Structure 1
């Protein structure tokens, strides 16, 4: 490994980190976005409507089936105190694997502005189509993760794909991460709830902010595979995400990312990644999802916008 360097302006102390200029501030535009989202969620909680804010009019590809868990103990005394949120447990299944099932705790109700502007806290609000697609893809290709060390980045309040990998793939280890403490507290409960299904797979969760070098030091060079869904849209986090993936992957390790194009954000991320990874972009990566995509474009054009709803698959291989 190359000798370490010190750059006080970035906090990055290692020469194997692609960027030494990761920014740590949330832009005013991003804060305004979360103010809008916070108001929408509070209104949604108060009037009981299920309608989502405009950019999420399209909710799901229907790849996973959900139903309320038979034993929903979200109001039990063990949950009270630190976790008094309006939360419900749901059972997730998938037609791909008849014997597959996992129980996921989803938060409801309203969120404070402070909670919403926590480190890229989108996943604390809802499960996005990209996360659904990543989960489905991981289940269909579960053999890829067998005996591998896997890390999910930016998994939000559920780390849905990472939990699915832990349940179904016989991975050696799965580490579930998000930059928001509230998300990770919820994921910890999900891990405990599903622990009997993990077999010999070691499963843990932790707070991980992509530009916090001390946190990255503990994970550096340790993972065969990184998975990530819809984490490319904030300008100030794309370079730190590239740096993070590079740091934690083993040589020749692979990152599988699903994200919509969303104007030029996906292309911007690819440009940042290209100096450090072999970058592959796949639009038609699975026949069922592609057929749904084509159908939605003709039959649900009012709600479905491919630019923000259809995930493109990125495969980054560490050089």
Structure 2
């Protein structure tokens, strides 16, 4: 039986936050029990669902203007020809205070800078498996972070246009840089970045213009529910086939509360639990504890993304 820690989860989460804020952590080493507790309290995954193979490139890491280190991650897409995407991402385990200043200024969070989150991996894989949906369509990814799903759509689906957006200007800088790095794999698809805050009013030039909206894990923060549902309604094309495809875990009552807001906005939705054979198989392996090293604290409610499809 696995040894349980006596340290309270709340205390362990403070230790995680302290570690994230300090560039040079204290030289004292936490005892083995505390280290184990931190590993099993954090919701962050080491490899997530591992649906799209990736590896860190063996090249010197670069320090950016915020004092963080960047590296390039190579994603090999599991389709014919195995095209590759190269995304510059942060590789630090700390968060510069500058991040929090920008979060306060723009009323956003900095989660998009931390890593490529598991739900984004699932969204990218789902879009890859349903690439015919996007052919000749205008697509926008909301709250994209590093935007793996948006880049996958731009690279393999023959969409006419893909906009990869986020409300964090630091994140948008990474997106634009990565568009330039990967421009050779987009073919005739126009890929572009956009800084888009969900509560901004001046979006008349893009209102009712997108055939598809995609997003992952964007329903956790309840304060953003109204703005998120509002921007989905504003951006979707008036054409009958337009829809938003979201991948999001339940996270307690957070997803249900968001869907209530969706209904209040006159939108329709469906929720599907088992929507892909391979994704479901990996979920079951994690639930059965067959891959604990990859995701020590895997729990369905917090980790497994449901498929939500929203239509006007």
Q: TM-score range by the shorter chain?
A: 0.7 to 0.9
1:269 to 244, 258, 261: 258
Q: 2:46 & 2:288 partners in 1: Cα distance? A: 14
Pick closer, same or farther for the CA change 1:203–1:52 going to 2, 3 Å.
farther
Pick closer, same or farther for the CA change 1:90–1:51 going to 2, 3 Å.
farther
Does 1:107 find its partner at 2:90?
A: yes
Distance apart, 1:67 and its partner CA: 1.7
Does 1:202 find its partner at 2:215?
A: no
Q: Which runs of 5+ in 1 are unaligned?
A: 1-33
Q: 1:271 & 1:87 partners in 2: Cα distance? A: 39
Q: Name the counterpart of 2:32.
A: none
Q: Is the 8 A contact 2:45 2:118 kept in 1?
A: no
Output the TM-score relative to the length of structure 1. 0.79
Distance apart, 1:36 and its partner CA: 7.4
Distance apart, 1:100 and its partner CA: 2.2
Q: Deviations over 1:265-303 (max 9, x none)?
A: 111111111242220100000001111111211125752
Q: 1:267 & 1:197 partners in 2: Cα distance? A: 38
Pick closer, same or farther for the CA change 1:73–1:299 going to 2, 3 Å.
closer
Distance apart, 1:306 and its partner CA: 0.6
Q: 2:99 & 2:89 partners in 1: Cα distance? A: 15
Q: 2:66 & 2:187 partners in 1: Cα distance? A: 28
Output the TM-score relative to the length of structure 2. 0.81
Q: Is the 8 A contact 1:107 1:125 kept in 2?
A: yes
Q: Which runs of 5+ in 2 are unaligned?
A: 1-12, 30-34
Does 1:242 find its partner at 2:229?
A: yes
Q: 1:314 & 1:227 partners in 2: Cα distance? A: 10
Pick closer, same or farther for the CA change 1:198–1:36 going to 2, 3 Å.
farther
Q: 1:179 & 1:314 partners in 2: Cα distance? A: 22
Q: Name the counterpart of 1:291.
A: 281
